[in-house]
Amino acid sequence: MDALPSRKWFILYHRILARISRIVLLFLGIGLIGYGYYVSRIAEAAAVANFLDLSVALQSLSVSTLALVLAILALISNEEWKRADDLKFEERIFNSMKANTNPILLRGLLRIKMRLPRAISLQLAHKENPELFTEKELVRRLLES
């Protein structure tokens, strides 16, 4: 289980797949920022050319695009969505590691490993507090979320 982070490409692949919808929305937001900027530059040129009605309409389109970008940003940074992505990631790792092992043990160790800082291994955590690794405690962790 501790060897899992050393397989960086494996982890990166599964993290990207678990978070693909947020990545798509991020690129959509970046594209909308560029679109809003472009529309505001056209509105400025329309104002210089004395097309004030067109300029006002384009500026309102630019501002509404900014509001849409802010809504996408709020959606991307939602904590509940992040937790759902973490559960998808955990499920992908669990399915790729599934063997003839106890699923409660494997899933519990995955949850512990995901919450530990990268510098701390499961072996060090077990050495410091072996009570966290009992089957009863692993089941409690699974039922927490």
- Give yes or no for a contact between 62 and 98, defined as CB atoms under 8 angstroms apart: no
pTM of the model as a whole: 0.62
Distances, alpha carbon 21 to alpha carbons 25, 35, 80, in Å:
6, 21, 14
pLDDT in tens, 60-108: 999 999 999 999 999 888 888 888 887 888 777 777 776 677 777 788 8
* DSSP single-letter state for residue 118: T
Segment 34-53 shows an average pLDDT of 94
Backbone angles phi, psi at 130, to 5 degrees: -65, -20
**Kindly report the CA angle at 92 between 88 and 96, in degrees rounded to 5?**
170
Sketch the domain layout of the chain as residue ranges.
Answer: 1-97, 101-145
Nearest in space to 85 (alpha carbons), one of 34, 38, 138, 17: 17
Highest-confidence range of 32-41, 114-123, 125-134, by mean pLDDT?
Answer: 32-41
pLDDT of 2 higher than 60: no
For 123, the token pair is 């072996």
- Give yes or no for a contact between 29 and 73, defined as CB atoms under 8 angstroms apart: yes
